[in-house]
Amino acid sequence: MKSLFVEGNSVMHRVSARAKLLVLAALGVVLFLTTNLMLLGLGVLATAVVAFSIGLPARSALARLKPIFLTILIVALFSLAFNPWHVAIVALLRLTALMLFAAAVTATTTIAQFIDEITLLARPLERLGLLRAGDVGLAVGLVVRFVPEIIDRYRAIREAHAARGIKVRPTTVLVPLVILTLRDADNIAAAIDARGVRRHVN
């Protein structure tokens, strides 16, 4: 499997995973507490500087962000259809700033670091008997790990459509994408259970 992690020695690489996740959470709270377009615009600018300073070539960085940005744009257009333009712009700026910083976090944090930090955060809930912290950390790690695989599958399916002269439609792309993803998820779950990974996580 591919990983979203990018080797480097930028400032974001040197910051601890815990600090980055806490800043991401705080940023989300701050962004959703304001509707000021100027402040939100500055937030987008600041997070863009962070996202493009991790050492990844601009073209590669934009290729990573394109699918997520298209999703955000669709959400903003949907919001515009039912709300004043100001509300739609606010949603666009908020989500874009979060996306840029989250992309920088995932590009500078390894899967192992993600799993360790999420597991640690889930410990109090485990003590209450609500869940198993190790399982939560493993689940989050697998989700992060699967993102580039899903993007690559989408591109492969789209290219296969183009090679056959088939028009790309959501239904003709999503169905095989979901089937392939679920199949791999079943295989990974079976491999995890066969190795007793979840039983040995403390």
> Three-state SS for 33?
coil
- What pLDDT is attached to residue 149? 73
pLDDT single digits (tens) 37-95:
999 999 999 999 999 888 888 788 787 787 778 788 888 888 888 888 898 899 999 99
- pLDDT tens track for 104-159: 998 898 888 888 888 888 888 888 888 787 777 777 777 777 777 777 777 788 88
User: What per-residue confidence (pLDDT) applies to 142?
Assistant: 73
Report angle CA 93, 111, 176 to the nearest 5 degrees. 75
Q: Decide if 63 contacts 7 (C-beta within 8 A).
A: no
CB neighbour class for 12 (10 Å; exposed up to 12, middle 13-18, buried from 19): buried
* pLDDT-wise least confident of 3-17, 92-106, 148-162: 148-162
Asked if residues 149 and 1 have their Cβ atoms less than 8 Å apart, the reply is: yes
When pLDDT is cut at 50, 70 and 90, the band that residue 198 belongs to is low
pLDDT-derived band at 200 (thresholds 50, 70, 90) equals very low
CA distance 90 to 41: 9
Statement: residue 185 has pLDDT above 60: yes
- More reliable by pLDDT, 79 or 96: 96
Query: What is the domain partition of the chain in residue ranges?
Result: 11-109, 113-200
For residue 140, report the phi and psi dihedrals to the nearest 5 degrees: -65, -40
pLDDT value for 20: 93
* pTM as predicted: 0.71
Task: List the one residue out of 172, 166, 140 whose CA is nearest residue 154.
Answer: 172
Return the minimum-mean-pLDDT range out of 93-102, 107-116, 192-201: 192-201
| Residue with more model confidence, 3 or 9 | 9
